[in-house]
Amino acid sequence: MKVQSPEIRGGIRVSELIEMMKRTGFNARRLGEAAQVCNEMIKNDTFVFMTVAGAMVPAGMRNIIAGMLKNGFVNCLVTTGANIVHEISESLGLGHEIGSSYANDLELAERNINRIYDVFIAQEAFEKIEEFLSGVITELDGTYTSYEFLWEIGKRLDDSSSFLRIAWEKKIPIFCPTLHDSIAGLHVSIYRKDLQIDFFRDVNRMIDLCFQKRRMGVIIVGGGVPKNFTLQAMLLADGFDYAVQITTDSPQWGGLSGATLEEAKSWCKLKPDAKAVTVYCDATIALPLLYAFMLDSSLSGQTEK
């Protein structure tokens, strides 16, 4: 098959464009192939884990994550404490502001504004988050997994678009193995009385999910702890049938965030014949496109039925 340049026209659908990308080169083709793998996961009733590292919520990706949970494209989410904190900020109506990476950070500090590359968030937001979380934490006692604790948070968020709220309503586990490494973790440490977060129960539950007798898939956004926490749970099971990875890191430095999915096969985290694609792209570009393709394909399938 020859390389074919996409035939762009006015009103083209995202799914059509990504289909054309499968006949191009480089990471455009990888994105098209990744979309195809995601589509197969949906059609084959796959249990899908999604790992989200980095500052995806501050960058505006929360509706994408929420939509993937709500539409059944993702059955389990693994993310960082930072993304949880920023999701709470959004759900409380505090949000983030479009800023600039060229801002004077000393001036921002004087104005009580925090910078995440080109996104700003006011210090006041973290004060409101602390007020909200302190109320949740002091109401709880006993031992919780991280996902049970996050369900308690989601239950108390009056925001139907929050992925924490959606997870609680649909009983989708959201694991946060780095909860203690975040502002939320600081508040748990300060305000808890008899509340305990048992991260080892998280591990046991993850392993149980991996032992399901059905097709298993994973969508990896970034790398870090969420990626490792999810892939290592497959060490005792049979390995993933499908895997899609979006990363801007590279493998030659030896870090997990850039480690290839082929390398994961050497650990038996993926099955030898697993369909796996790595897309080297900014996740804030690739993830919305993948979700749009999956949503469009899913709606088209419903229409055909």
Mean pLDDT score of the chain: 96
Q: Would you state the pLDDT for residue 108?
A: 98
Which residue segments constitute the domains of the chain, with CATH numbers given?
42-95+125-287 (3.40.910.10)
Beta-carbon contacts of 75 under 8 Å, excluding residues fewer than 6 positions away, are: 47, 48, 49, 172
Q: Would you state the pLDDT for residue 298?
A: 85
Tokens of 58: 């501050």
Angle between helices 26-43 and 14-21 (to 10 degrees): 120
pLDDT of 138 over the 70 cut: yes
Distance CA 86, CA 70 (A): 19
Q: Would you state the pLDDT for residue 1?
A: 87
pLDDT in tens, 290-303: 999 999 988 776 54
Residues that are catalytic:
269
Q: Would you state the pLDDT for residue 304?
A: 43
Q: Would you state the pLDDT for residue 203?
A: 98
Q: What is the mean pLDDT of residues 9-32?
A: 97
pTM to 2 decimal places: 0.96
Q: Would you state the pLDDT for residue 63?
A: 98
